[in-house]
Structure 1
Amino acid sequence: MARWRPLPAGLDPAVARLVVQLRKLKDDSGLSLSRLAAKTGYSASSWERYLVGRTVPPAAAVEALASLVGADPVRAEALREAAARALAHQHSDDASADDPPEPSAGPSRIRRFGRTALTAGAGAVVGAVITLLVLGPKPVHAKQQALVVTARTVYTCAFTRHDGLWYAGNSTTTSDFLEVDMWGPEVAELQCLLQHAGFSPGAVDGNFGPLTETAVIDAQKAHRLDIDGQVGPQTWAALRG
């Protein structure tokens, strides 16, 4: 039986219950991650993420694992759906509280976003405002207030075709690596292309969440690519072609 690492602190209870069940099923199977990947069609790296609660596996992955040990897939699927709802709600809350900045005019960058970085940045801004108020030449009134307005980036899909490839107007990359928890215009481009190909990623919001990962996996299956839920040159080529 595998010696599992403790679950991450602060993991949503619904996700934790799913991970515990998945770990039990894997233990019952007696398979290594590589053998589990071969038996289920989902990569070892994908199962690593599923078994620590980083992402919620698609329904087909849970069903495949349950069938390996003759377990009832209904309970596992119920746990999976509850975990997916919890993570989707969490991503929605994070997106509302932590709006990403507008993309720069220079070369595009794929971003990861953390609350620690935001808190540090906010602290620096507040410190700068206080310094200006104290040292500035104008008197500071008690009711003086500073208003900070943050605009949410809105992505659209404007499809064009050049040299036999589809583009949606957010990025022209054909090779940038994308995975869960990344965000930015490249992710929005991916979501548009998935939607165009008939694999719904949910909203085109530039956030690589569980729904986008499931859509990527479905696209990789359809195009007979390695199934890992991550995006590289082969997946870009399949979606742009």
Structure 2
Amino acid sequence: MAPWKALPEHLDPQAGRLVDRLRRLKDATGLSFTALATRTSCSRSSWERYLNGRKLPPADAVTELAVLAGADPDRMLALHTLAAQTWTGPQPKDAATPGTSGAGPEPTEPEPEPEAVPEAAAAPAPAPAEPDAPAAVPPVLRGEPDGPAEPARARPARRALLAAGGALVVVAAVLAVVVTLVLPGRGATGAGEEEHRRTATEEFAFKPDRTYDCDVHRFEGRLYAGHSDTQDALLQQISTTWEVVEAQCLLEHRGYRIGGIDGAYGPATERAVKRLQDKEGLVVDGIMGPHTWEALRR
């Protein structure tokens, strides 16, 4: 994305803050000026003037951009109000020249009639409403006229945009939950890759009276029980590790009963491993190795 041009020097801090915030919102949407025009009520050339600090954007435009970027429209309207009170400055020579912004005159967006007021005499308060004039007449950069008609238009539009934005957020949340629950490879608990990787990190300590729960799920085509990701750990009698807990969980899940899941590779676990090896056509030695792990995780 090309860097923004420097703001005009005549902009005061409040106006500069509004334009800078609007630029950040546009960047957050990832939309070009053309795409932004199709998603809002303002034309491409209007957005170029607003975001280059050559013209104060109307309240409707500020609200629409805030909703598109997921920002707080009320906060942006507060910045707009402060900027409108102090927006003054000379009219740029190319403000209404066709081709400077990539678009010609805008018959759908009449601009206020120029006012012959010296820059030093410009009051900080918003200018009174003036009659509309054709877009080709260069406007003096003053705040948008305040009057009862603007809030009357802005409020219904803002409410509609906020309602639409809220509905989109709800739909996105519902879709996220559905995708998490039904996508294959996420398991019955809907665990994603990050959840799958949360295997036991503490050092294993065998306690005869302690048993462990199994979170058996399928991830990338393999079965896991949430205690180890190993594919080749060698296990045999007397082994006491998290890998043993993993193997016991998967053996129980496949129907090879061993009793409690305690993490100790005892005779019951060895017999279950031998039954698995016999069924899968492996060497029946009762030792967990790479080939037995491969069969167990299928």
With the shorter chain as reference, the TM-score category is 0.3 to 0.5
Task: Answer with 1 or 2: which has the greater Rg.
Answer: 2
Higher helix share: 1
TM-score by length of 2: 0.34
User: TM-score, normalization: structure 1?
Assistant: 0.41
